[in-house]
Amino acid sequence: MTKKIAILFICMANYCRSPTAEGVFRSRAAAAGLEPFLLIDSAATSNYRIGSAPDPRSSEHAARRGIDLSGQRARQVTPADFENFDHIYAMDRHNLAMLESACPPRFHHKLGLLMDFATRSDADVVPDPYGGDIDGFELVLDYIEDASDGLIASLRERIARD
């Protein structure tokens, strides 16, 4: 495989969920031996926190599971992302709808929900933990780990074919 598979995770502010998804997925891909075949990033649909580090609560809970989010900084999705990324996964339906309205129709096939890859949970979205209690950050990690494992299984098949 010569070209890396580029994957972008999206939430509203690139502050809680999408940085967590980037960190969890990167960690799980590395453990599976797939990281050399992947380009992994995250972004926001809004411009609320551009340049900010992830929510300290997200970083703290991720660190408890051995995942480092400290090098990440929030950025907003750009028109070039629709062309440059092979897969763009939103954390919820609202952000997916925002992506669909901004994305040129020829790239709509790249858009989806991360939780479509979950195998242990029947949740269809990753809930936003920002305004909730501390348990929400653990739930986000549980859901993202589940969906990341499913996505890695899907990508492993594609990488093996290529």
Q: The whole model's pTM is what?
A: 0.96
Which residue among the candidates 55, 128, 146, 149 is catalytic per the annotation?
128
11 is catalytic: yes
Catalytic: 128?
yes
Q: What is the pLDDT of residues 45-94, one digit of tens each?
A: 999 999 999 999 999 999 999 999 999 999 999 999 999 999 999 999 99
Condensed to tens digits (0 to 9), the pLDDT of residues 102-122 reads: 999 999 999 999 999 999 999
Residue ranges and CATH numbers for the domains of the chain are 5-14+33-161 (3.40.50.2300)
DSSP character string of the chain: --SPEEEEEEESSSSSHHHHHHHHHHHHHHHTT-GGGEEEEEEESS-TTTTPPPPHHHHHHHHHTT---TT----B--HHHHHH-SEEEESSHHHHHHHHHHS-GGGGGGEEEGGGG-SS---SS----TTS-THHHHHHHHHHHHHHHHHHHHHHHHHHH-
Which band of pLDDT confidence, cut at 50, 70 and 90, is reported for residue 39? very high
**pLDDT at 132 > cutoff 90:** no
